[in-house]
């Protein structure tokens, strides 16, 4: 049984409607919106004349089909003309969500001479002579590369590097807005793990850290492990460790509420990809002893054949102590 999605801002629409400027018309329109299951978030006047009113109705819906139904309901109101229907989510993405901004203005010739040539050459030579000074004299220390191959994007699957770009821009925004860290999407048109490692190593001098994002399992484990060994900057696979940290935090609080210990639990993980495996590892370190992981074929146990999938082999050997099948 599928769960019905509630109307939300992710599927909001803005309907511009024109109708006679008469008492009761606004009520008829909002009733039509509510009757079709829409959630009217805002009503804004665009134009008001003696005989005509134009308003924008911003409405939360539960999906594309539901949005069409809401629009049809508004159109069904007598004397109402729908002029335009826009999607605020798509409008927000027009032109992309991030940009490069200078930390100071270049207003004079002197500013230019210090920020760029000839003055910048002195800074470059200082870094050449003392490589560690790159952390102080450039933006390296507050810049992260958000790297993906587009193979496991959100719940959408393997949609490719171009389609992953809006998600990576969004992650870069989160770095900046909530952490004050500059981040830039690096979307790679390759799924070869060794090639990905080589590319990231080649671009790493310009970044203070590497955030791996939405790379499918089990390749993501190999890529992260190699980069951690071969780079001298932090490497973090968000799908694994970001998820695991949040799950552990929730579990710690839940155990306090029910007054239990980690060793008291019998825990089921639905999904043993990148996130599920990382969750299992961090929960085991915290003291959870009995974890049973399920993939699309059922419970993981030592009696199954996992081929060359080393992450699932590890999972089967280290979890499910009762060998539940």
Spatial distance between the Cα atoms of 28 and 78, rounded to a whole number of angstroms: 9
Residue 158: which of 214, 198, 206 has the closest Cα?
214
Backbone angles phi and psi of 154, in degrees to 5: 45, -130
The reply to whether 116 belongs to the active site is yes
Residue 215: which of 278, 175, 160, 294 has the closest Cα?
160
**Which residue carries 């050459």 as its tokens?**
121
The reply to whether 171 belongs to the active site is yes
Spatial distance between the Cα atoms of 277 and 301, rounded to a whole number of angstroms: 14
* Active-site residue, selected from the candidate residues 116, 266, 286, 317: 116
Q: DSSP 3-state assignment of 60?
A: strand
For the chain, the maximum distance between any two Cα atoms, rounded to a whole number of angstroms, is 78
* Active-site residue, selected from the candidate residues 11, 19, 171, 312: 171
Residue 214: which of 284, 282, 165 has the closest Cα?
165
Secondary structure letter of residue 74 according to DSSP: H
**Which residue carries 């009762």 as its tokens?**
322
The number of angstroms, rounded, from the C-alpha of 131 to the middle of its chain's C-alpha atoms is 34
Question: Could you list the active site residues?
Answer: 116, 171
């Amino acid at each position: 049984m599928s769960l019905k999605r509630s109307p939300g801002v992710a599927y909001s629409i803005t309907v511009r409607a024109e109708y006679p400027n008469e008492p009761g018309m606004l009520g008829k329109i909002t009733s039509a919106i509510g009757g079709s299951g829409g959630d009217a978030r805002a009503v804004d006047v665009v134009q008001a004349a003696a005989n005509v009113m134009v308003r924008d109705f911003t409405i939360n819906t539960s999906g594309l089909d539901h949005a069409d139904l809401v629009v049809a309901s508004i159109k069904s109101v007598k004397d109402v003309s729908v002029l335009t229907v826009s999607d605020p989510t798509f409008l927000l993405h027009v032109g992309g969500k991030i940009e490069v901004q200078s930390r100071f203005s270049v207003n004079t010739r002197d500013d230019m001479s210090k920020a760029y040539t000839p003055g910048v050459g002195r800074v470059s030579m200082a870094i050449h002579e003392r490589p560690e000074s790159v952390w102080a004299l450039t933006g390296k220390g507050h810049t992260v590369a958000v790297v993906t191959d587009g193979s496991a994007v959100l719940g959408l699957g393997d949609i490719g590097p171009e389609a992953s770009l809006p998600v990576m821009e969004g992650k870069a925004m989160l770095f900046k807005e909530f952490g004050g860290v500059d981040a830039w999407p690096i979307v790679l048109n390759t799924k070869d793990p060794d090639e990905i490692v080589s590319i990231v190593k080649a671009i790493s001098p310009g970044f203070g850290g590497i955030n791996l994002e939405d790379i499918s399992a089990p390749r993501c484990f190999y890529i992260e492990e190699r980069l951690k060994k071969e780079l001298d900057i932090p490497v973090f696979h968000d799908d694994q460790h970001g998820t695991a940290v949040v799950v552990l935090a929730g579990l710690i609080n839940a155990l306090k509420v029910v007054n239990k210990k980690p060793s008291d639990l019998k825990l089921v993980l639905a999904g043993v990809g990148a996130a599920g495996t990382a969750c299992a590892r961090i929960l085991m370190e915290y003291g959870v002893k009995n974890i049973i992981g399920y993939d699309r074929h059922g419970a993981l146990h030592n009696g199954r054949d996992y081929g060359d999938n080393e992450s699932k082999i590890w999972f089967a050997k280290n979890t499910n102590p009762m060998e539940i099948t």
